[in-house]
Structure formats: structure tokens, C-alpha cells
């Protein structure tokens, strides 16, 4: 299906007339215009690794004098993501993956958000991975860090003059491991499919999360909100993942024995591709804006729930991080119209989960036709089009269905398992989600109660035995009820103050203080 990326142009939604499929005789000769541009697998895994580097930390901030930088890691087996990791206070992401998967890493492909240090690399190679790809920025043993801490106000333009002995020795060891190793160790970055950047930007602006903000707060200029968030993220992510000057970047690449990348036009292309991916990440993250919204319990008080009460709490930052993972996955969709992504995390005890706030990945997926099918092999029509026989619904596998099918292991009874999905679960998926033992759902309910004939969203409301956290306006500062805001939600005047406190807040119910949060 990868090749089909190139055949498609940027299209963003049903409003565009050219997306309508013309009816015709057989499927093979029907005029299917296909899905919008997609992320390639390599770029998806790379983006997920960058995003994982930013997993919110329980114990904030790394030691700014340490040369070890946090990194994110994606473990892929047979093209499926089976591990998402982040460095924690003690373990590097590579070590966390070893602890969690052991020899399960054999034949896996690993995507790192930086070149990993030699101590991680030796174990990973030893575990028998088949391929290691890393983002060609500052490596895990930073070549910039000593410059940073000594001259923090000149960090953006000073050359890496003070590459320390530590970083140099690590590079030598990494090189030795690289040249002696069986797995392929490389930089895998691809240019974005034509039109993808625009497609991501347009669809992020109009996604369910943004729509909910618009509905809840019609007085807010959501366009401005989106642009502001996007600019803010772009600035932060550029600082985190890009190397400001070309000279500095070339010096780092040369140190890492990637001199080939320093030759033009490869060098400019490399920097361009890196920049484009960072822009995609900023757009995807901006589609879930902080402002006054977050994931909050739906309507039912916990005492009405049949679930046992749990102690654990999940912060809004972690919930938002996970839903953005799902949003990234959604850009691999094969649905001609709507991309959906799903990620399932479970609460773990192992030290290997420390970097991810005690969570480990159970599975992830996006909506797509059955594995191995060819482009346009299955019908692509939607429910607005005449011929029911040629509608997509009986063929597309939903994001949650893929996440459950390709889960890393079974869900144990009573286990805290959280499904993060970018669209309300449909009636076909509800029994599967319940049957699998998912205990919590984080989603938007924009489609709740809709019946589109081929697909319906009627059962979500009556789903009582799973805790539902819905993307909605924060209930925490509900003051004077306003006709706008059902449930007595907050009005505009308190938005600023709430915005400040919102980020560190734990997920809470719409009810009292002593009711258990997430949990």
C-alpha cells in the first residue's frame, strides 16, 4: 500500500467534491480516489519515537549537567508496534526495553529518537534485533550538553567545541559495535508523501478534539488557538530534536561517523526531512489543545460503577500524551475518509515501565483493510454514496480491533487497562472492548448516539462497566452555570487561571473530591 501514498494528493475531508467516488461496474475498474496521503511506516515509527522521548515524567527534569539525554524508543515486530519506551530516572529507554522484552527483542526493529549509547547498544545487539534506526540529532551521550550547561544562554549557536571525552569514547565504542554487529544500524528517514504536511495540518484543525472545543466554547477563536498551540509546539520540538546551525549539525554527524550525510544535497535533504517531521508532530499535538479541556469522567458517579475502586491516578498530561500517540497512528489509515488510531496501555509494576509512569504497551492500531490487501482491493465508499454493496464498512478493520488483535499479551482479570482511541468506539467494537477486559476508555464522544446505517455509535452511552473518560471541558472550576455549558461547566472568565492549573491536575471525576480519580 506504500506506493499508493504517491498516487494521492492532499485532501482533507468530505467537503471536497473530488473525494466522492463515482459509481461504476466492478471494483477494479471503479474510480476510487483513495485515501489522503499517509505516513510511511518508517516515518510513523520515527515520529512515535520522538514523541515517546517527551513522555511526561513523574520525577521531572533530567540532571542538566548529565551528558545522558532522555530518549524515546519504538519496538516493531512484523511491522507492528510492540513496545513504546522512554528513559526514566534510572533506566535508559534501551535498558527498559531489555527489561521488558528480553529475548523477545530478537528479530525486532528498533527506532530511537537519538543514537543510543554504547551500554544500551551492546545489550540490544546481543538480544538479536534485526535493525536499529536512530534520529540523526544530538545522541544519547550528548555532544551538546556540556556546551549547554556551561553556556546556557548561547546554547543555540555555539559549536560543539566541548565534545567531551565521554561522548567521544561512547562514539568510538558505538562505531565498533556497529561495524561488528549483525543488525543493520542506520538512519531511516523518508521525505513526507506529497501533500501530507498540509493534510495533517487541515485534519488536525478539524479533528474531533478541536470540534469539541469549538462546540463548548463558541466564543473562542479555535483557529487562533490551534495556530498558537502549533507554534508553541514547533518551537519546543525544534529545540528538542533539531540542531540549530548547519555547522553544528555537520560536526555532530561527522563525530558519529555519518560523514556521508554531510555531503550536499544529502545534508540539506536530511535537515529538510527532519524539519518536516517535527512540523508534523507539532500539528498533530496542536490538534489536542490544552486550554480548558481534558479527559474527564462522563456522567456516572463512581459508586454506580461495578468496577473496583483503584488507587492509581493518571495525569492529564499522560492521558493527552497517549491520545496523541493514537493521533499519530491515525495517519497510517487506509480509510478513504477518516483516520482513527488506538493505543492500549496497562498499569505495570516492572522497573522497565518507570519512564512511562508505570505503564506498558498492550497494543496499538489504526483503521485499515485486512493485512496484505492491495490498494483499492476492497470497496471504499462511505454511507453518503448510493451503492451499499460497495461501501467500506464490512471490510475495514477498526483501530481498536487492530490494537486488540495484535496485542502483546492477554489482559489479566482485574488489570488496569486503558484504551486511548481518537474516535468514539462503535457498536461493533463495544463487545470486543468489553470482552477483552479493557477497564478504561479515553476518547471523544462526538459521534455518540449516531446511527449511520452501516456503522452506528449507539451502545457507547449504555456502556456502564468500563470507566469512560471523555475529552471535554474541565469541570473543576464550575462556577456560575451558563446556558452554554451543560453540567454546570466553567465560563470564560476563569479560563486563564484554569489553564495554569490544568496541566498538573490529576484526572478527576465530575463529582466530589474524595471520589476516586481514574482509577
Ligand X SMILES: Nc1ccn([C@H]2C[C@H](O)[C@@H](COP(=O)(O)OP(=O)(O)OP(=O)(O)O)O2)c(=O)n1
277 or 424, CB closer to ligand X? 424
| Binding string, residues 198-237; x marks residues near ligand X by CB under 6 A | ----------------------------------------
Query: Considering beta carbons, is residue 21 or 408 the nearer one to ligand X?
Result: 21
> Minimum distance from CB of 410 to ligand X (Å)?
22
Q: Is residue 455 a contact residue for ligand X (CB under 6 A)?
A: yes
Stretch touching ligand X by CB under 6 A, among 371-379, 394-402, 466-474, 492-500: 394-402
Would you say 55 or 460 has its CB closer to ligand X? 460
* Distances, alpha carbon 198 to alpha carbons 11, 16, 106, 193, 272, in Å: 9, 14, 38, 10, 16
Nearer to ligand X, 21 or 510 (CB): 21
Min separation Cβ 463 and ligand X, Å: 13
Q: Which residue has the cell 558505538?
A: 174
Confirm whether 298 is a catalytic residue. Answer: no
State the binding string over 307-346 for ligand X (x if CB under 6 A, else -).
----------------------------x-xx-x------
Catalytic residue among 140, 279, 317, 400: 400
Could you tell me if 132 and 68 are in contact, meaning their C-beta atoms sit under 8 angstroms apart? no
Collapse the DSSP code of 150 into the 3-class scheme (helix H, G, I; strand E, B; otherwise coil) and give the result: helix
Window 7-26: contact mask with ligand X (x via CB under 6 A): -------x------------
E strand or H helix at 500: helix 495-502
373 binds ligand X (CB under 6 A): no
Q: How far is the CB of 29 from ligand X (least distance, A)?
A: 23
Residues 496/469, Cβ–Cβ less than 8 Å: no
Is 398 an interacting residue with respect to ligand X (CB under 6 A)? yes
Q: How many residues bind ligand X (CB under 6 A)?
A: 21
- In the shown chain, the binding pattern of residues 403 to 442 toward ligand X, with x for contact by CB under 6 A and - for none, equals ------------------x-xxxx--x-------------
What is the CB neighbour count within 10 angstroms for residue 80? Answer: 18
**Are the C-beta atoms of 97 and 59 separated by less than 8 Å?**
no
* From candidates 399, 467, 470, 507, binder to ligand X by CB under 6 A: 399
477, 481, 485, 491 alpha-carbon torsion, rounded to 10°:
-50
- For residues 36 and 195, the answer to whether their CB atoms sit within 8 Å is yes
Nearest Cα to 467, choosing from 441, 506, 435, 432? 441
Do the beta carbons of residue 459 and residue 468 sit within 8 Å? no
Q: Annotate 235-296 with DSSP letters as a single string.
A: HHHHHHH--SSHHHHHHHHHHTT-GGGGSTTHHHHHHHHHHHHHHHHHHHHHTS--TTEEEE
Tell me which residue of 108, 159, 109 sits closest to 138, measured CA to CA.
159
The nearer residue to ligand X, 356 or 367, going by C-beta atoms, is 367
Q: Shortest distance, CB of residue 328 to ligand X, whole angstroms? A: 15
Question: b/e string for 441-451 if b means 16 or more Cβ within 10 A?
Answer: bbbbbbbbeee
Q: Which stretches of the chain bind ligand X, using CB under 6 A?
A: 14, 335, 337-338, 340, 367, 382-383, 396, 398-400, 421, 423-426, 429, 447, 452, 455
* Residues with a known catalytic role: 400
Amino acid at each position: 500500500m506504500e506506493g499508493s501514498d504517491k498516487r494521492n494528493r492532499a485532501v482533507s475531508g468530505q467537503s471536497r467534491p473530488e473525494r466522492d467516488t463515482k459509481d461504476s461496474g466492478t471494483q477494479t475498474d471503479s474510480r476510487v480516489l483513495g485515501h489522503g496521503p499517509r505516513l510511511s511506516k518508517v516515518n510513523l515509527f520515527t515520529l512515535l519515537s520522538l514523541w515517546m522521548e517527551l513522555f511526561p515524567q513523574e520525577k521531572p527534569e533530567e540532571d542538566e549537567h548529565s551528558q545522558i539525554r532522555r530518549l524515546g524508543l519504538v519496538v516493531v515486530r512484523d511491522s507492528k508496534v510492540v513496545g513504546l519506551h522512554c528513559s526514566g530516572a534510572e533506566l535508559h529507554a534501551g535498558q527498559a526495553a531489555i527489561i521488558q522484552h528480553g529475548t523477545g527483542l530478537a528479530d525486532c526493529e528498533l527506532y530511537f529518537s537519538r543514537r543510543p549509547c554504547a551500554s544500551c547498544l551492546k545489550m540490544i545487539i546481543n538480544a538479536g534485533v534485526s535493525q536499529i534506526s536512530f534520529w540523526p540529532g544530538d545522541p544519547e551521550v550528548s555532544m551538546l550538553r556540556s556546551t549547554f550547561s556551561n553556556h546556557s544562554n548561547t546554547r543555540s549557536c555555539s559549536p560543539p567545541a566541548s565534545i567531551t571525552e565521554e561522548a567521544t569514547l561512547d562514539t568510538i565504542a558505538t562505531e565498533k559495535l556497529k561495524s561488528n554487529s549483525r543488525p543493520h544500524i542506520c538512519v531511516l528517514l523518508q521525505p513526507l508523501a506529497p501533500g501530507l504536511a498540509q493534510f495533517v495540518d487541515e485534519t488536525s484543525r478539524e479533528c474531533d478534539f478541536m470540534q469539541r472545543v469549538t462546540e463548548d466554547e463558541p466564543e473562542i477563536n479555535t483557529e487562533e488557538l490551534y495556530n498558537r498551540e502549533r507554534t508553541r509546539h514547533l518551537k519546543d520540538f525544534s529545540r528538542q530534536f533539531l540542531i540549530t546551525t548547519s555547522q553544528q549539525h555537520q560536526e555532530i554527524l561527522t563525530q558519529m561517523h555519518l560523514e556521508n550525510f554531510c555531503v550536499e544535497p544529502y545534508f540539506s535533504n536530511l535537515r529538510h526531512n527532519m524539519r518536516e517531521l517535527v512540523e508534523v508532530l507539532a500539528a498533530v499535538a496542536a490538534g489536542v489543545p490544552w486550554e480548558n479541556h481534558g479527559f474527564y469522567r462522563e456522567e456516572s458517579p463512581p459508586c454506580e460503577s461495578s468496577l473496583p475502586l483503584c488507587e492509581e491516578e493518571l495525569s492529564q498530561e499522560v492521558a493527552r500524551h497517549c491520545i496523541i500517540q493514537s493521533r499519530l497512528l491515525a495517519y497510517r489509515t487506509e480509510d478513504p475518509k477518516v483516520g482513527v488510531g488506538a493505543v492500549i496501555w496497562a498499569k505495570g509494576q516492572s522497573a522497565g515501565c518507570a519512564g512511562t509512569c508505570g505503564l506498558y504497551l498492550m497494543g496499538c492500531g489504526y483503521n485499515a483493510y485486512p493485512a496484505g490487501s492491495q490498494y483499492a482491493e476492497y470497496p471504499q465508499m462511505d454511507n453518503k454514496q448510493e451503492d451499499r454493496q460497495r461501501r467500506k464498512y464490512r471490510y475495514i478493520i477498526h483501530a481498536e480491533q487492530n490494537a486488540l488483535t495484535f496485542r502483546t499479551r492477554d489482559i489479566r482479570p482485574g488489570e488496569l487497562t486503558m484504551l486511548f482511541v481518537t474516535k468514539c468506539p462503535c457498536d461493533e467494537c463495544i463487545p470486543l472492548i468489553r470482552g477483552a477486559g479493557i477497564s478504561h476508555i479515553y476518547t471523544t464522544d462526538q459521534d455518540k448516539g449516531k446511527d449511520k446505517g452501516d456503522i452506528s455509535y449507539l451502545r457507547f452511552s449504555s456502556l456502564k462497566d468500563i470507566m469512560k473518560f471523555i475529552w471535554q471541558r474541565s469541570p473543576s472550576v464550575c462556577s456560575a452555570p451558563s446556558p452554554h455549558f451543560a453540567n454546570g461547566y466553567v465560563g470564560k472568565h476563569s479560563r486563564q487561571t484554569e489553564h495554569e492549573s490544568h496541566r498538573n491536575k490529576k484526572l478527576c471525576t465530575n463529582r466530589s473530591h474524595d471520589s476516586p480519580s481514574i482509577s
